Amino acid sequence: MSAPEAEGLRASLERLVAEGRVVPAGADAEVRTGCPRETEAVGFGLGLGAFPGAVLLLEGPLGSGKTALARGAGVALGVRDPLTSPTFTLLSESAGRLPVFHLDLYRVAGPEELRAFDLVEVLESGGVTIVEWPRWLLAEPPGGALRVDLAVLTPAERRLQVRILDPRWEGWLARARRNAAA
Ligand SMILES: Nc1ncnc2c1ncn2[C@@H]1O[C@H](COP(=O)(O)OP(=O)(O)OP(=O)(O)O)[C@@H](O)[C@H]1O
Ligand SMILES: [Mg+2]
Protein backbone atom coordinates (compact mmCIF):
# COMPACT_ATOMS: atom_id res chain seq x y z
CA MET A 1 0.00 0.00 0.00
CA SER A 2 2.37 2.68 -1.18
CA ALA A 3 0.09 4.79 -3.33
CA PRO A 4 0.16 8.50 -2.45
CA GLU A 5 -3.58 8.27 -1.83
CA ALA A 6 -3.02 5.72 0.93
CA GLU A 7 -0.20 7.76 2.45
CA GLY A 8 -2.41 10.86 2.57
CA LEU A 9 -5.27 9.02 4.24
CA ARG A 10 -2.89 7.33 6.66
CA ALA A 11 -1.61 10.78 7.68
CA SER A 12 -5.17 12.12 8.08
CA LEU A 13 -6.13 9.13 10.22
CA GLU A 14 -3.04 9.55 12.40
CA ARG A 15 -3.91 13.23 12.82
CA LEU A 16 -7.51 12.47 13.82
CA VAL A 17 -6.26 10.01 16.43
CA ALA A 18 -3.43 12.27 17.67
CA GLU A 19 -5.80 15.20 18.06
CA GLY A 20 -8.09 13.06 20.20
CA ARG A 21 -10.93 13.33 17.70
CA VAL A 22 -11.58 9.60 17.69
CA VAL A 23 -13.42 9.32 20.99
CA PRO A 24 -13.71 5.73 22.26
CA ALA A 25 -16.89 4.70 24.06
CA GLY A 26 -16.22 1.18 25.27
CA ALA A 27 -15.32 -0.80 22.16
CA ASP A 28 -17.25 1.71 20.06
CA ALA A 29 -16.15 5.18 18.99
CA GLU A 30 -17.37 8.55 17.81
CA VAL A 31 -15.51 10.77 15.38
CA ARG A 32 -16.30 14.26 14.12
CA THR A 33 -14.90 15.06 10.72
CA GLY A 34 -14.52 18.51 9.22
CA CYS A 35 -14.05 17.65 5.55
CA PRO A 36 -14.65 14.75 3.14
CA ARG A 37 -11.01 13.70 3.38
CA GLU A 38 -11.31 13.11 7.12
CA THR A 39 -14.38 10.95 6.57
CA GLU A 40 -12.37 9.01 3.98
CA ALA A 41 -9.63 8.64 6.59
CA VAL A 42 -12.07 7.05 9.04
CA GLY A 43 -13.08 4.64 6.27
CA PHE A 44 -9.40 3.99 5.64
CA GLY A 45 -8.99 3.02 9.30
CA LEU A 46 -11.97 0.68 9.06
CA GLY A 47 -10.53 -0.83 5.88
CA LEU A 48 -7.24 -1.49 7.67
CA GLY A 49 -9.13 -3.26 10.44
CA ALA A 50 -11.33 -5.32 8.11
CA PHE A 51 -11.13 -9.10 7.87
CA PRO A 52 -12.60 -11.74 5.51
CA GLY A 53 -16.36 -11.64 6.03
CA ALA A 54 -16.37 -8.10 7.45
CA VAL A 55 -19.45 -5.98 6.73
CA LEU A 56 -19.69 -2.19 7.02
CA LEU A 57 -23.26 -0.94 7.42
CA LEU A 58 -23.27 2.78 6.61
CA GLU A 59 -26.44 4.45 7.84
CA GLY A 60 -27.12 8.13 7.32
CA PRO A 61 -29.03 10.63 5.17
CA LEU A 62 -28.25 11.72 1.62
CA GLY A 63 -24.88 13.41 1.38
CA SER A 64 -23.77 12.42 4.87
CA GLY A 65 -20.56 10.84 3.59
CA LYS A 66 -21.30 7.12 3.19
CA THR A 67 -19.60 6.93 -0.19
CA ALA A 68 -16.68 9.03 1.07
CA LEU A 69 -16.20 6.55 3.89
CA ALA A 70 -16.50 3.60 1.50
CA ARG A 71 -13.88 5.17 -0.79
CA GLY A 72 -11.38 5.38 2.10
CA ALA A 73 -12.05 1.77 3.05
CA GLY A 74 -11.44 0.78 -0.57
CA VAL A 75 -8.05 2.50 -0.55
CA ALA A 76 -7.01 0.64 2.62
CA LEU A 77 -8.14 -2.61 1.03
CA GLY A 78 -5.95 -1.97 -2.01
CA VAL A 79 -8.73 -1.37 -4.51
CA ARG A 80 -7.18 0.23 -7.57
CA ASP A 81 -10.06 2.32 -8.94
CA PRO A 82 -11.82 4.56 -6.43
CA LEU A 83 -15.14 3.25 -5.15
CA THR A 84 -17.95 5.40 -6.44
CA SER A 85 -21.63 5.37 -5.70
CA PRO A 86 -23.15 2.11 -6.94
CA THR A 87 -26.66 3.61 -6.83
CA PHE A 88 -27.53 2.55 -10.35
CA THR A 89 -25.92 -0.85 -10.22
CA LEU A 90 -26.92 -1.85 -6.65
CA LEU A 91 -23.75 -3.91 -6.33
CA SER A 92 -20.23 -3.46 -7.59
CA GLU A 93 -17.28 -5.74 -6.97
CA SER A 94 -13.63 -4.69 -6.87
CA ALA A 95 -10.47 -6.66 -6.36
CA GLY A 96 -8.24 -5.61 -3.47
CA ARG A 97 -6.29 -7.50 -0.81
CA LEU A 98 -9.75 -8.99 -0.27
CA PRO A 99 -12.67 -8.84 -2.71
CA VAL A 100 -14.66 -5.70 -1.94
CA PHE A 101 -18.41 -5.58 -2.55
CA HIS A 102 -20.06 -2.16 -2.46
CA LEU A 103 -23.84 -2.06 -2.28
CA ASP A 104 -26.34 0.76 -2.25
CA LEU A 105 -29.80 -0.39 -1.18
CA TYR A 106 -31.43 3.02 -1.59
CA ARG A 107 -33.72 1.71 -4.29
CA VAL A 108 -34.50 -1.61 -2.63
CA ALA A 109 -38.12 -1.36 -1.55
CA GLY A 110 -38.17 -4.04 1.14
CA PRO A 111 -36.78 -7.25 2.60
CA GLU A 112 -38.51 -9.37 -0.07
CA GLU A 113 -36.66 -7.54 -2.80
CA LEU A 114 -33.47 -8.03 -0.85
CA ARG A 115 -33.97 -11.77 -0.82
CA ALA A 116 -34.28 -11.70 -4.59
CA PHE A 117 -30.59 -11.08 -5.12
CA ASP A 118 -27.71 -13.09 -3.80
CA LEU A 119 -26.84 -10.99 -0.80
CA VAL A 120 -26.19 -14.02 1.39
CA GLU A 121 -23.74 -15.34 -1.17
CA VAL A 122 -21.95 -11.98 -1.19
CA LEU A 123 -21.87 -11.75 2.60
CA GLU A 124 -20.49 -15.26 2.94
CA SER A 125 -17.91 -15.02 0.16
CA GLY A 126 -15.02 -14.09 2.46
CA GLY A 127 -14.67 -10.59 1.07
CA VAL A 128 -15.51 -7.24 2.64
CA THR A 129 -19.02 -5.93 2.04
CA ILE A 130 -19.81 -2.23 2.33
CA VAL A 131 -23.50 -1.33 2.39
CA GLU A 132 -25.03 2.12 1.94
CA TRP A 133 -28.70 2.48 2.93
CA PRO A 134 -28.62 -0.80 4.91
CA ARG A 135 -32.03 -0.21 6.54
CA TRP A 136 -33.36 -3.66 5.69
CA LEU A 137 -30.34 -5.26 7.35
CA LEU A 138 -30.29 -3.34 10.61
CA ALA A 139 -32.88 -5.35 12.54
CA GLU A 140 -30.87 -8.53 12.06
CA PRO A 141 -27.37 -7.46 11.12
CA PRO A 142 -25.29 -10.07 9.29
CA GLY A 143 -22.24 -11.70 10.89
CA GLY A 144 -19.07 -9.63 10.64
CA ALA A 145 -20.97 -6.36 10.90
CA LEU A 146 -19.90 -2.98 12.13
CA ARG A 147 -22.35 -0.11 11.91
CA VAL A 148 -21.53 3.52 11.28
CA ASP A 149 -24.24 6.12 11.81
CA LEU A 150 -23.40 9.32 9.98
CA ALA A 151 -25.05 12.62 10.82
CA VAL A 152 -24.73 15.98 9.09
CA LEU A 153 -23.85 18.63 11.68
CA THR A 154 -22.98 21.56 9.41
CA PRO A 155 -22.25 21.75 5.67
CA ALA A 156 -18.68 20.54 6.37
CA GLU A 157 -19.01 18.61 9.62
CA ARG A 158 -20.14 15.05 10.10
CA ARG A 159 -20.57 12.94 13.23
CA LEU A 160 -19.66 9.30 12.73
CA GLN A 161 -20.76 6.84 15.40
CA VAL A 162 -19.01 3.53 15.01
CA ARG A 163 -20.74 0.60 16.65
CA ILE A 164 -19.32 -2.89 16.77
CA LEU A 165 -21.94 -5.57 16.14
CA ASP A 166 -19.54 -8.52 15.78
CA PRO A 167 -16.74 -9.12 18.32
CA ARG A 168 -14.25 -9.66 15.50
CA TRP A 169 -14.21 -5.88 15.13
CA GLU A 170 -13.10 -5.35 18.74
CA GLY A 171 -9.75 -3.64 18.80
CA TRP A 172 -10.18 -2.36 15.22
CA LEU A 173 -8.82 1.04 16.14
CA ALA A 174 -5.71 -0.41 17.75
CA ARG A 175 -5.35 -2.73 14.76
CA ALA A 176 -5.83 0.15 12.32
CA ARG A 177 -3.18 2.19 14.11
CA ARG A 178 -0.80 -0.76 14.07
CA ASN A 179 -1.43 -1.38 10.38
CA ALA A 180 -1.11 2.33 9.64
CA ALA A 181 2.28 2.36 11.30
CA ALA A 182 3.44 -0.77 9.44
N1 LIG B 1 -16.99 16.03 6.74
C2 LIG B 1 -17.46 15.56 5.59
N3 LIG B 1 -17.44 14.24 5.34
C4 LIG B 1 -17.95 13.74 4.20
N5 LIG B 1 -18.52 14.45 3.23
C6 LIG B 1 -18.56 15.79 3.41
C7 LIG B 1 -18.04 16.39 4.57
N8 LIG B 1 -18.23 17.73 4.46
C9 LIG B 1 -18.82 17.94 3.30
N10 LIG B 1 -19.04 16.80 2.64
C11 LIG B 1 -19.72 16.67 1.34
O12 LIG B 1 -20.86 15.86 1.54
C13 LIG B 1 -21.06 15.01 0.41
C14 LIG B 1 -20.97 13.55 0.84
O15 LIG B 1 -21.25 12.78 -0.29
P16 LIG B 1 -21.31 11.22 -0.29
O17 LIG B 1 -21.60 10.82 -1.68
O18 LIG B 1 -20.10 10.65 0.38
O19 LIG B 1 -22.58 10.99 0.66
P20 LIG B 1 -23.54 9.71 0.73
O21 LIG B 1 -23.92 9.59 2.17
O22 LIG B 1 -22.89 8.55 0.09
O23 LIG B 1 -24.79 10.19 -0.12
P24 LIG B 1 -25.91 9.27 -0.84
O25 LIG B 1 -26.93 9.01 0.19
O26 LIG B 1 -26.39 10.15 -1.94
O27 LIG B 1 -25.24 8.01 -1.35
C28 LIG B 1 -20.00 15.37 -0.60
O29 LIG B 1 -20.52 16.32 -1.48
C30 LIG B 1 -18.91 15.97 0.26
O31 LIG B 1 -18.11 16.90 -0.43
MG1 LIG C 1 -23.46 7.29 -1.51
Instruction: Convert the pLDDT of each residue in 32-76 to its tens digit.
Output: 999 999 999 999 999 999 999 999 999 999 999 999 999 999 999
Q: Looking at the predicted structure, is the pLDDT value of residue 1 above 60?
A: no
* Spatial CA neighbour of 42 closest among 160, 179, 181: 160
- For residue 143, the CA-to-ligand 1 centroid distance in Å is 27
pLDDT in tens, 69-80: 999 999 999 998
Alpha carbon distances (Å) from 96 to 40, 75, 80, 106: 17, 9, 7, 25
| Contact in structure between 96 and 79 (CB atoms under 8 Å) | yes
Threshold 0.85, pTM exceeds: yes
- The reply to whether CATH 3.40.50.300 applies to domain 4-181 is yes
181 Cβ closer than 6 Å to some ligand 1 atom = no
**Which pLDDT score is estimated for 63?**
96
What SS3 state is found at 99? strand
Q: What is the largest CA-CA distance in the chain?
A: 45
Give me the residue spans of the domains in the chain. Answer: 4-181
Atom of ligand 1 nearest to the CA of 150: 21
| Contacts for 98 with CB less than 8 Å, ≥ 6 apart | 50, 52, 77, 126, 127, 128
